Amino acid sequence: MTRSAQSQRPEASLPPAAEHPFLLACRREESPFTPVWLMRQAGRYLPEYRRVRERLSFLELCGRSDLAAEVTVTAAERLGVDAAIIFADILLPLVPMGVGLRYEKGDGPRIEQPIRMAADVDRLTPVSVEESLAFVAETVRLSRAGLNGKVPLIGFAGAPFTVASYLIEGGSSRMHVTTKVLMQRDALTWQRLMERIVDVTADYLNMQIAAGVDAVQLFDSWVGCLSPRDYQRHVLPYTKRLISALRPGVPVIHFGTMTGSLLELMRDAGGDVVGLDWRVEIDEAWQRLGPEVGVQGNLDPALLFADAAEIRRAVREMLARAGSRPGYIANLGHGVLPETPVDNVLAFVDAVHEYGRR
């Protein structure tokens, strides 16, 4: 696919960092066009990423700051998006906790020593992120240098509930039954675990901010399994405490999946932008959230397997629902799927830039 000059991101002289359209949108200020970036931006769908992964495991690549920065910058440049996101993983803070995190091909992360009772929380190793996760800060610094001010850089971490669910379930889960049972039956152990996660995550994100990220995203990928009542009681206080502990002035995007029933509570937990998955309509969600937050999302990643005409139609509809109000960031409703054709990803980005001009 040849990308036309009309459809690519405008390349006028670089604005001051704070005036990039992505950061303007985070602050709900007017921008010249709708900014767009992608979750799982550097991933298996990109041949450049696959070539790097052929030599290293996932965790090894995360630990190689030079290569993690390379795939961060390469993905942003290849796609012509309006923000880069560091290559890392939401579970990296678990490595120094001593729970035996490993990644199994095809099965995702596994925790060798899951948390099931108070004694398991007691044995968690205290974490100094400046020492044990310094490689992530170096990835931020190298990525920022490689981007050379062309686009902002996003840091990220897992939200407390999602990280806790991995720790308790021992890996991915559909129903999160073990997590819910501990949450309901042993409130004190739940509280202690969540407080440990909040403290480490706050340090982790503040380290990324100090290293140079322009914004951060909090991924609460599994919180949609909860009822509003359980979220309000068992999650909201901890997420709110985490966001409040972050360095002021750096935008926070608060993202979750299957959270249509939780949007107002997520807004109350904090953040400048609420990330939506594809199960809610942008205009309806934004009306519920109110004018004090921006909105990000939310095309179904599966639609990127359609042809270019259908992708363009879906983008026009998505942008129409967002309207012209400031504070909108285009994205998918979750990460790019591994088998997605690169040309279709480019078609999505180009369509946002073409139809999102103001």
State the catalytic residues. 40, 44, 53, 89, 166
Chain centre to alpha carbon of residue 255: 7
d(CA 256, CA 221): 5
Give me the residue label for tokens 């299957």. 258
Question: What are the distances in angstroms from CA 27 to CA 21, 286, 351?
Answer: 10, 15, 23
d(CA 350, CA 195): 42
Please tell me what DSSP assigns to residue 175.
S
d(CA 28, CA 147): 24
Instruction: Give which of 152, 166, 260, 142 is closest to 216, Cα–Cα.
Output: 152
Question: What are the distances in angstroms from CA 327 to CA 86, 208, 229, 280, 324?
Answer: 22, 24, 29, 17, 9
Instruction: Give which of 355, 293, 338, 357 is closest to 46, Cα–Cα.
Output: 338
Buried b (16+ CB within 10 A) or exposed e, 55-93: eeeebebbbbbebbbbbbbbbbebbbbbbbbbbbbbbbb
| AA letter at 179 | T
d(CA 38, CA 345): 9
d(CA 318, CA 59): 35
